[in-house]
Amino acid sequence: MAAKIIDGKAVSAAVKEQVRAEIERDGLDIGLAVVIVGDDPASRVYVNNKKKACEVCGIKSYEYALPAETTEEQLLELIDALNSDDKVNGILVQLPLPRHLDEEKVIKRISPLKDVDAFSAENVGKIMIGNYAFLPCTPAGCMELIHSTGVEVSGKECVVIGRSNIVGKPMAMLLLHENGTVTICHSRTKDLAEVCRRADILVAAVGKPNFVTADMVKDGAVVIDVGINRLDNGKLCGDVKFDEVSEKAGWITPVPGGVGPMTIAMLMKNTVMAKRIQSR
């Protein structure tokens, strides 16, 4: 029995429509500043997609494209200016940054009230204790996709492959907040396939093409593929071997068209939340 496809494009379009309707209904004037340093092609694609999403939702988009040789001091000065600019409700610095810039220092400089990526230590800490306003966009998008299946997280065995600060760790916390029983796997995990086979909900965020194979997946599981990898032939693929896993899973996200569109939709949602918090 082939898995049902979780359509990230459709779910993200619904989220953006909710955001647009809320902004229109309440007459909100919202601005998102996106800072890009250098000319990384993947980063440029992301930034352009964020601008398009802002247009769809009715959010003003302010782009700051800085040359690769921008100094740390210049970048931090710009963030300070954006922190104190009332027109700007959310600040996003597109990662990765050129090597001479300290990402941690840059993220730390963004006001936690405008940190719509939820990368700052303060916002991460709030996620740990369950008292958060912003959620990291990719894990939040994954949760929306899981909810769209109608599968309850509560009481389920959930396995997250990957322990990054951006996806793996916050993903585990969000599943835990919904009463999932959560295991985080990584490169040192023993009997990885056996652990994965227990999962009712399996989230792959490991950054290795076609890493998850059918023998690692429980019959009928919900499989969320966060990976986006480019093969030698130029094709995009996820961390999950889609063709074989889709024959065994109950639900599965495709790559592309699964988690990717959700990340930007959740960013729009976070930017509205930022406006609400700043207006209190």
Question: Mean pLDDT, consecutive 10-residue segments, the chain of 280 residues?
Answer: 94 98 98 96 92 98 98 98 98 96 97 97 94 94 98 98 96 98 97 98 97 98 96 93 97 97 97 96
27-111 CATH choice from 3.30.1330.40, 3.40.50.300, 3.40.50.1820, 3.40.50.10860: 3.40.50.10860
Q: What is the pLDDT of residue 9?
A: 97
Long-range contacts of 39-42 (CB under 8 A, 24+ apart): 39/68, 40/96
pLDDT of residue 42: 87
φ and ψ of 159, to 5 deg: -120, 130
pLDDT of residue 61: 98
pLDDT tens digits, one per residue of 169-198: 999 999 999 999 999 999 999 999 999 999
Give the strands of the sheet with 201-204, arranged side by side. Answer: 4-5, 251-252, 222-225, 201-204, 157-161, 181-185
Q: Taking the model in full, what pTM does it have?
A: 0.95
Topology of 136-260 in CATH? Rossmann fold (3.40.50)
What positions carry a catalytic annotation?
A: 50, 94, 117
CB 75 within 8 A of CB 100: no
The domain ranges of the chain are 27-111, 136-260
Six token digits for residue 91: 């600040």
Fold match between 27-111 and 136-260?
Answer: yes
Supply angle C-alpha 270, 228, 94, rounded to 5.
45
Q: What is the pLDDT of residue 15?
A: 98
Nearest to 277 by CA among 140, 132, 143: 132
